[in-house]
């Protein structure tokens, strides 16, 4: 059974009241299970070891602690989508967009939670056996494995998703807002600088000899090289 992991120091009903109903609705078709862990950096390894489909970080009651856990997760480079639960007044307190893939308010209704989780899981999934090739790069969507000229790249979930989106559409130019919408989600609250940061990280991991696989179109945005 697939799992959604919630890191929180509260009960799920306090952190995200409608979460139980959302999972119950999805369970009939997706066989989802909810697992709880304390909201602590010490439990980041345990959360990743579960192999969850989605990680939920409850920053609603303690935004500072929630952001610390997000940073620890980001440093580990998880290939699992990460959702932060945060109160509206705390949106500007921390750069949530740098470490989270999606955001939820504690008051989100069951339908919104279910749809957002389904969208994340869809973006994380792919057609069986899907392999994308771009010059010397091979991207395996099943295993989340990317190699360039035989060298494996260690990518985070969002880096992988951004690279996959571009590489599957070589030669097509996307603006920063379009990439935010398509890769980060339809209501992502981060600025377009988020795209630039992730592109820079991808190029650094591709290395000087292959960074040209991602091209900048000045004044417009980015595209994968049409090889």
Instruction: Examine the pLDDT at 126 and tell me if it is beyond 60.
Output: no
Mean pLDDT of the chain: 86
pLDDT at 116: 85
pTM of the shown model? 0.58
Q: How confident is residue 124, by pLDDT bands cut at 50, 70 and 90?
A: low
Q: How confident is residue 128, by pLDDT bands cut at 50, 70 and 90?
A: very low
pLDDT at 187: 55
Domains within the chain, CATH numbers bracketed: 2-124 (3.40.50.2300), 131-224 (1.10.10.10)
Note the pLDDT tens digit of each residue in 11-67: 999 999 998 888 776 655 555 678 899 999 999 988 888 778 889 999 999 999 999
Structure tokens of 28? 């009939």
Note the pLDDT tens digit of each residue in 132-167: 889 999 998 777 889 998 899 999 888 998 999 999
pLDDT at 28: 53
């Amino acid at each position: 059974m697939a799992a959604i992991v919630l890191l929180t120091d509260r009960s799920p009903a306090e952190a995200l009241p409608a979460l139980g109903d959302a999972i119950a609705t999805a369970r009939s078709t997706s066989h989802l299970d909810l697992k709880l862990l304390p909201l602590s950096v010490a439990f980041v390894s345990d959360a990743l070891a579960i192999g969850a489909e989605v990680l939920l970080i409850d920053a609603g009651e303690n935004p500072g602690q929630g952001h610390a856990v997000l940073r620890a997760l980001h440093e580990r480079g998880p290939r699992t989508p990460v959702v932060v639960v945060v109160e509206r007044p705390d949106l500007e307190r921390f750069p949530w967009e740098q470490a989270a893939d999606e955001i939820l308010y504690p008051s989100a209704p069951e339908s919104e939670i279910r749809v957002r989780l389904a969208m994340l899981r869809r973006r994380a999934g792919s057609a069986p056996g899907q392999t994308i090739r771009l010059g010397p790069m091979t991207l395996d969507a099943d295993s989340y494995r990317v190699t360039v000229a035989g060298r494996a790249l260690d990518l985070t979930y969002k880096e992988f998703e951004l690279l996959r989106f571009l590489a599957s559409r070589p030669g097509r130019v996307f603006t920063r807002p379009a990439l935010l919408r398509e890769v980060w989600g339809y209501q992502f609250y981060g600025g377009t600088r988020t795209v630039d940061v992730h592109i820079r990280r991808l190029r650094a991991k591709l290395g000087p000899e292959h960074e040209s696989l991602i091209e900048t179109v000045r004044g417009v945005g980015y595209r994968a090289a049409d090889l």
